[in-house]
Structure 1
Amino acid sequence: MTSKSPARSCDDMDEAALSYAEVKALAAGNPLIKEKMDLDVQLTRLKTLKAAHDSQRYELENKIAIGFPAEIRKCKEQIENATVDASTVKEHSVVDADGKDVFCIQLEKKVYYEKEPAGKALLGLLGLALNSEKPVPIGYFKGMELQIQHLPFGNEYHARLVGSGTYSTQLGADVLGNLTRLSNLANGIEPSIEKTRNMQIQLEQQLASAEEEVKRPFPQATELTEKSKRLAVLEGLLNMNDKDIVTDTEPEQQCQTDNRQHGQEER
């Protein structure tokens, strides 16, 4: 009912109904009727397998034409954007003598070098996004535009770093925790490039596998054809046409006629 290929299937044992000619052949011990019934079951199974095979082939064709190319293009765009943004973050990052990152953030028109007042200011600006359907720009961090967005579903606030690409993280109520999340978001852009590149390679491999798989014919195609032809022959031999169906009233009527004639002779 979902139009998807079922993982399991079963045959309806009561699906086949015997015609008068088939019942007559079965009562006469005709072996052809048993062969026909066996073929009906086998053909039902083969047709179910073929339907599943065709459904899978159509799905693969759709992925080959649309799905995989779109995902591969998306990966390429993400890699290009992340490469530019990672360079931007690196250019706007300063480290001290100990190799630690020097904190700096601009919120509206004010630049903060200390985390606690910057964290409090960030929390104070979240209300700007409460009644806005679009992300609200509030400053800059690591050379990228900083936006905040309110998601009514779940009542969540998200911070977005926007450059060539867009990167998002959820904000909480912790003053210093939000700044840590922003730092992790910016510093995680460069490592994400390798992950996206690996994903692109996997998608390209899946595309190649799908192109090979879609070329494979139905494995039991020959068996299905042969059994279908044999079933057609059996149906002809068993006289399954409507003209072969007779009623069972004639023998009874003939018997009643004979009885009346017999009674008149005795008189």
Structure 2
Amino acid sequence: LKANHQSQQFRLEDNLIKRFPEQIEQTKERIRGFEKDMQTLESHPLPKEGFVGMTMGSTQLHDKEAAGKAILDACKAIRGLDPMLIGKYRGLDMYLSLEDFGKTFRMTFKGVMAHPVELGTDARGNLTRIDNALAGLPERLEKQRTMLDNLHAQVAAAKEEVGKPFPQEEELRVKSARLTELNALLNMENERTLAPANQVVEEKNTRPSVLQRLRNTAPNTGSPVPSKPRMEVR
């Protein structure tokens, strides 16, 4: 548990130092990008009647039907997988690309941010998809603002948690002390058990063998042999 607590503390510190600041700055950049692109769209508003116009290559198209057909013609002409700049709409650059191994055509409107739209096979339907996607920028901007608020809340929560001691520190200290005490008692008991056993081994080693005892207790039946008198030689 203590190791997990320490690991969590390290993660919190890393998040406060690196991760959160990076994410906050990236989110702020996206917010600024959406705000800038929305300003661009506001400077090229959709008219209540008629068509706002579209640039395809160097051609200005003021008819909605013609613009829709030009997009389909561009889809037929595109080759390769790299996005290709084909025109401009409401102040944003239009890039056409093939996705899903050539199965899907995607139009990406680029200002500061990129705003992708998947195209279909209907000319008018594609223009409706484009307008709906661009109309969704305020919602996407609001999501980024909510994300920024959440990041700030996470920073505040992390600051409250970082540096907190292990909550079970006192319990761990008491249990560790008790374990040390039990180990000491166990060692003392082992020493007491080993002492008599060592004494038995020592007594066994000093006890005379059976052969030695027999030699010590055997009767001495022999008598000394008298020495013969030495004859004097004359």
TM-score range, shorter chain: 0.7 to 0.9
Counterpart contact for 2:54–2:89, Cα < 8 Å: yes
Counterparts of 1:240 and 1:131, CA distance in 2: 83
Match of 2:43 in 1: 91
Which structure 2 residues correspond to residues 72-83 of structure 1 after superposition, within 5 A?
72-83=24-35
- Alignment equivalent of 1:143, drawn from 91, 113, 121: 91
> In structure 1, how many angstroms separate the alpha carbons of the residues matched to 2:26 and 2:171?
43
Answer whether contact 1:93 1:101 (CA < 8 A) is retained: no
Equivalent residues, number: 205
Deviation at 1:181, TM superposition (A): 1.9
Equivalence for 1:234: 182
Instruction: Determine the C-alpha separation between the residues in 1 that align with 2:10 and 2:23.
Output: 18
1:183 aligns with 2:131: yes
Measure the CA separation in 1 of the matches of 2:22 and 2:96: 29
Structure 2: how far apart are the matches of 1:90 and 1:228? 69
Structure 2: state its 5+ residue gaps: 204-209, 211-234
- Corresponding position of 1:114: 63
CA distance in 2, matches of 1:188, 1:196: 13
TM-score normalised per structure 1: 0.65
Q: Given the alignment, which residue of 148, 151, 159 partners 2:107?
A: 159
- Once residues 188 and 65 of structure 2 are traced to their aligned partners in structure 1, the CA distance between those partners, rounded to angstroms, is 90
TM-score by length of 2: 0.73
Aligned partner of residue 218 in structure 1, secondary structure: coil
CA offset digits 1:72-129 (Å, max 9, x no partner): 1112111211111111111112423xxx573422222222233333223212223555
Q: What amino acid is the match of 1:238?
A: L
SS in structure 2 at match of 1:111: strand
> What residue identity is the alignment partner of 1:141?
Y
Task: Go from structure 1 to structure 2 and tell me whether the alpha carbon gap of 1:153 and 1:232 turns closer, same or farther (over 3 Å shift).
Answer: farther
CA distance in 1, matches of 2:69, 2:189: 88
Shift of 1:159: 1.5
Aligned counterparts, 1:201-216, within 5 A:
201-216=149-164
The correspondence of residues 1-267 of structure 1 with structure 2, limited to 5 A, is: 49-96=1-48, 100=49, 102-127=51-76, 129-133=78-82, 135-152=83-100, 155-239=103-187
Bigger Cα displacement from structure 2, 236-245 vs 183-192 = 236-245
1:232–1:139 Cα change, 3 Å: same
Higher gyration radius (CA): 2
- Name which structure has the greater RCO, CA cutoff 8 Å, separation 6+: 1
Query: 1:169 and 1:244 mapped to 2: Cα distance?
Result: 85
Q: Can you give the 5+ residue segments of structure 1 that lack an aligned partner in the other structure?
A: 1-48, 255-260, 262-267
**Does the CA contact (< 8 Å) of 1:82 and 1:164 recur in 2?**
yes
Secondary structure of 1:62's counterpart equals helix
Find the aligned partners of 2:150 and 2:20 in 1 and give their Cα distance.
Answer: 10
Aligned residue identity for 2:71: L
Q: Match for 1:180: what amino acid?
A: T
Give the 3 Å change call, closer, same or farther, for CA 242–167 of structure 1 in structure 2: farther
The 1:50–1:170 alpha-carbon spacing in structure 2 relative to 1, beyond 3 Å, is farther
Percent identity reads 34
Distance 1:244 1:69, change over 3 A: farther
